[in-house]
Amino acid sequence: LAKLQNIVRMSKQVETTENGLYGLNKEMMKKLKIAGFSDLAIADLCNVDEIAVRRRRINDFGITPFVKQIDTLAAEYPAKTNYLYMTYSASEHDLKFEDHGVMVLGNGPYCIGSSVEFDWCAVSCVRTLRKNGIPAIVVNHNPETVSTDYDESDRLYFEELSFERTMDIYETEKSMGIIVSVGGQIPNCIALPLHRQGCRILGTSAASIDTAEDRNKFSALCDSLGIDQPDWAQSTGIEAAKKFAERVGYPVLVRPSYVLSGAAMRVASNGAELVSFLENAADVSEEHPVVISKFILNAKEVEFDAVADDGEILNFAISEHVENAGVHSGDATLVLPAQKLYVETIRRVKRIAGNIAAALKITGPFNMQFICKNNDVKVIECNLRSSRTFPFVSKTFKCNFIELATKAMVGLPATPFPIKLLDLDYVGIKAPMFSFQRLLGADPTLGVEMASTGEVACFGQDMHEAFLLSMMSAGFKIPKKQKTVLFAIGPKSEKLDLLPYAALLEKNGYTLYGTEGTTEYFSKNGVKISPLYKPSSDKMPQATDMISNGKIELVINVPDSMNSVDATNGYKMRRCAVDFGVSLITNSKCAIELIQALDSISGIPCMSMTDIYGLGKPTRKWTKPTLNLQRMLTSKSNMASPKANGGKFFQSNDEVEKMTRRGRSTSFSAPQVMVVNPKA
C-alpha cells in the first residue's frame, strides 16, 4: 500500500506542477522514470502527447534507460546471458552494441486471439534470420513462449511491446530494422508511430499497414480498385448510422479498426442494438474510425493466407470455413485445401488478392478474408501480418511460409515453394477449443468476436475423417454409448437444413429428442423423435433434466436471437450441456458435417504424420526405427534375390533410399526423403 500511495503522490505532484511538462526538472523526470512511469502516463498527467515527453526526457535531460543482463546464476558469478532488460536504476550498460541486428517483435502475453500460433511465426522468423547470418533481437515479455528462450535469438529483451520501449531498444541497439508482421496485432498497432519517429520497418510499409488496418481507408481502397465488398459507411454519428442501416437493411456489422480477435465487433439486428454496439465500439477504438457494413447472411467465408514480395504473391493458401460467415475466423473450423468452392470462386479470390497485394506493395506475410455466395466474392478485410493460420498452412503444405516471408522482408532471395494442390492426398482441418467450462455463466455460442482459447489441427484421408479427428482432439465426445441426441433448433431455415441429417441419425440407430417446435417439425416430416420441454415450461420431461442426468450424449442447439424467451431457454440448455460435460454443437453447418462424418466412417486408422505425408506415394516407404539398414546393405543374400528380403531388391548402396524423419515440433518441418547418389 505504501508503494501504491507513492505512485498516487507522484502523480498528483506532476498534475499540479506549473507549466505542466516543461515545469518538470531533470531530477523529477528521473524519479518518475525510476518509479516506473511511462512516457505515455506522464503525457496523460501533463495533457500532452507521448512524443513531447520523449523529446523532453531525451533531448533536454539526456535521460535514457540502461541495458542490464538478467542474472541466471544467483549472483554467484557474473551474468553472461543475452537475456536482457532495460532500467533507469543503473549508471551503465552491461554489454556493448556492435551487431546492430534485426529486431523481431513478439506477440506479448497470451490472450484470446493472441497465442502460440503467433509465437511460432516469430520463432520461425528468428531462426531464418540466424540461419542466414543476420543477428536477431527479440522483444517479448511472455515467459510461456519459445521466443523468450534466450537460446533462440542473439539478444532477447524481456520487455513490454510498447512504442516507448521499442524505440528505446531500437535506438540503443542501432538496429538495422524492425519486423512487426510476425507477432500478431500488437506490433502492427505501433508500426505507424515507429515509422513516424524514423524507425526502419522491414517488409510492408507502415503506410500500407495503416491503410489495411483503418477500416475506412481500406474500404476506400477497394472502391478505387473496383473490388466488391459489402455496402459500408464510416460511423459519423448515431443518426447517420441508423439511416445507413435502414437503407441497406438489417442486420449490419459494426467494425472498429486496429483491433484483434474482433474486439467490440457486433452484428446489430435492430436500431437499439446498433446504438449500443456503436457506443461500445467507440470506447474500444477511440483513435480510429468505426465502420458499419451490411452483414450478408448464409454466405461462406474464405481465408487467403499468402506471402508477397513487393506486391507480387509468392505462395498462397485458400481455406474455407465450415461455418457460414458470422463466426470469427479464430473460432471457425477451417478446411485446407478448400473442398467445396467453385473453381471460378477460387479464381476470383486469387485475382482480388493479387490486385490488393500490388496496390499496397505488400512484402511479407498477409491474410485476407472473403465472403462468397452464389459465386459472388466480396472482401471483408486484409491483415498485413501473419495470421493464426500460418502454422497450420505451413504444416499442411509442408513448407514454412514465414521462412519465405522473412527472406522477402530482409531482401534475401525468396524462391516460391512448388505447391501443387492436386498432389495432396489428404485434407487438413483446424478446429477451435473453448474454455466455457471454466467461465461460469458464459454463453457457449459463436459470433463475430473471438471466444476460443486454443485450437487443434488434424489430417485425414478425406474431409470427414479429418473433421472427426479434429473434433475429438478438441475434446468433443462422440455419442456412441446410448447414442442419444437432443435437437433444439431455433430458426425455421435451420430446421429445414437439418431435417435430412436428423433422418440419417435415426437410420443409423440414434435415439432423437427435440424441443417442442423442433419435434413437431421433424415429426411432420417423417423423423421419429421424442419431445423434451424447455426450462420455461412446467411440462415434463425437461431437457435440462435429461442432460444433467446423463441421458443425452449430444446437444445440437442452434440459437435464434430474435426471440428473447427462446434465447433464454436456449442459453439454459447450452449452459447445462457445458456444465455437465455433454458434447454441444451450436452451428448447423458443423452439425451437418459431424452427422455426415459419423455416417461415412466406421473406423479411423491410426496414422502418423509420416503416413499422412506419404499418402498417394506408394514408391516411398518409410523404414521402421528398428530396421537395421546397414545389415541389409552388407548382406549378400539381400542383394542377390528380391525374395530374400520380402520382395525388396537392393543392388548396391547407390540405389538405397535413405529415409529420415524430422521431429514434429521442430519448425513444422516436413519429413524428407534423401536419396543417396540417385541415378539419372
pLDDT, one tens digit per residue, over 64-97 is 999 999 988 887 888 788 999 999 999 999 999 9
Q: Are residues 273 and 339 in the same domain?
A: no
Tell me how far apart the alpha carbons of residues 141 and 41 are, in angstroms, rounded to a whole number. Answer: 20
Pick the last residue of a domain from 254, 274, 294. 294
Q: Are residues 370 and 347 in the same domain?
A: yes
Q: What is the mean pLDDT of residues 187-210?
A: 95
Asked if omega into 541 is within 30° of 0 (cis), the reply is yes
Q: Is residue 25 part of a domain?
A: yes
Q: Are residues 525 and 557 in the same domain?
A: yes
Q: Are residues 469 and 596 in the same domain?
A: yes
Q: Are residues 596 and 507 in the same domain?
A: yes
Q: Is residue 652 part of a domain?
A: yes
| CATH code assigned at 135 | 3.40.50.20
Secondary structure (DSSP) of 441-461 = T------SS----EEEEEEES
Contact by Cβ (8 Å): 411, 310? no
- Taking the CA atoms of residue 506, residue 507, residue 510 and residue 512 in that order, the dihedral angle to the nearest 10 degrees is 0
Please provide the average confidence, as pLDDT, over all residues in the chain.
85
Q: Is residue 430 part of a domain?
A: no
Identify any residues that bridge with 558 across adjacent strands, giving them in sequence order. Answer: 489
Tell me how far apart the alpha carbons of residues 638 and 650 are, in angstroms, rounded to a whole number. Answer: 7
Pick the last residue of a domain from 541, 572, 600. 600
Identify any residues that bridge with 512 across adjacent strands, giving them in sequence order. Answer: 485
pLDDT, one tens digit per residue, over 203-239 is 999 999 999 988 889 989 999 999 999 888 877 678 8
Tell me how far apart the alpha carbons of residues 328 and 444 are, in angstroms, rounded to a whole number. Answer: 14
At residue 623, the pLDDT reads 43
At residue 63, the pLDDT reads 97
Identify any residues that bridge with 253 across adjacent strands, giving them in sequence order. Answer: 267, 293
The runs of H, that is alpha helices, within 141-237 are 163-173, 185-189, 191-196, 206-213, 215-225
Identify any residues that bridge with 139 across adjacent strands, giving them in sequence order. Answer: 105, 157
Distance of CA 367 to the CA centre of its chain: 10
Q: Is residue 454 part of a domain?
A: no
Q: Are residues 528 and 635 in the same domain?
A: no
At residue 258, the pLDDT reads 59
Give the pLDDT band of residue 371 (cuts 50, 70, 90).
Answer: very high
Q: Is residue 434 part of a domain?
A: no
The single residue listed with the C-alpha cell 520463432 is 123
Q: Are residues 591 and 474 in the same domain?
A: yes
Tell me how far apart the alpha carbons of residues 488 and 230 are, in angstroms, rounded to a whole number. Answer: 32
At residue 289, the pLDDT reads 64
Closest CA to 367 of 411, 318, 312, 413: 318
At residue 642, the pLDDT reads 37
**pTM above threshold 0.75:** yes
Contact by Cβ (8 Å): 304, 382? no
Question: What residues make up the domain containing 54?
Answer: 2-60
Tell me how far apart the alpha carbons of residues 376 and 348 are, in angstroms, rounded to a whole number. Answer: 9
Q: What is the mean pLDDT of residues 386-410?
A: 95
Bridge-based pairing state of the strands 484-489 and 511-514: parallel
The fraction of the chain above a pLDDT of 90, given in percent, is 60
At residue 272, the pLDDT reads 82
At residue 495, the pLDDT reads 94
Pick the last residue of a domain from 254, 276, 294. 294
| CATH code assigned at 509 | 3.40.50.1380
| CATH code assigned at 373 | 3.30.470.20
Contact by Cβ (8 Å): 667, 124? yes
- Provide the residue type at 424 as one letter: L
Closest CA to 163 of 193, 204, 206, 199: 193
Closest CA to 305 of 385, 407, 376: 385
Q: What is the mean pLDDT of residues 348-363?
A: 96
Q: Are residues 318 and 381 in the same domain?
A: yes
Q: Are residues 324 and 290 in the same domain?
A: no
Q: Return the exposure string of 440-471: e unless at least 16 CB atoms fall within 10 Å of the residue's CB, then b.
A: eebbbbbbbbbbbbbbbbbbbbebbbbbbbbb
| CATH code assigned at 48 | 1.10.1030.10
Give the pLDDT band of residue 257 (cuts 50, 70, 90).
Answer: low
Rounded to the nearest 5 degrees, what angle is found at the Cα of 357, between the Cα atoms of 214 and 103?
75
Total of domains in the chain: 6
Q: Are residues 99 and 186 in the same domain?
A: yes
Contact by Cβ (8 Å): 485, 511? yes
Q: Return the exposure string of 260-269: e unless at least 16 CB atoms fall within 10 Å of the residue's CB, then b.
A: bbbbbbbbbe
Say whether pLDDT at 650 is over 50: no
Q: Are residues 392 and 413 in the same domain?
A: yes
Q: Is residue 225 part of a domain?
A: no
Closest CA to 492 of 444, 596, 563: 563
Tell me how far apart the alpha carbons of residues 387 and 389 are, in angstroms, rounded to a whole number. Answer: 5
CA atoms within 13 A on the CB side of 307: 24
Q: Is residue 649 part of a domain?
A: yes
47: left (phi over 0), alpha (psi -120 to 50) or beta: left
Q: What is the mean pLDDT of residues 264-290?
A: 70
Tell me how far apart the alpha carbons of residues 372 and 62 are, in angstroms, rounded to a whole number. Answer: 56
Q: Are residues 376 and 315 in the same domain?
A: yes
Bridge-based pairing state of the strands 511-514 and 530-531: parallel
Tell me how far apart the alpha carbons of residues 348 and 367 are, in angstroms, rounded to a whole number. Answer: 16
At residue 402, the pLDDT reads 97
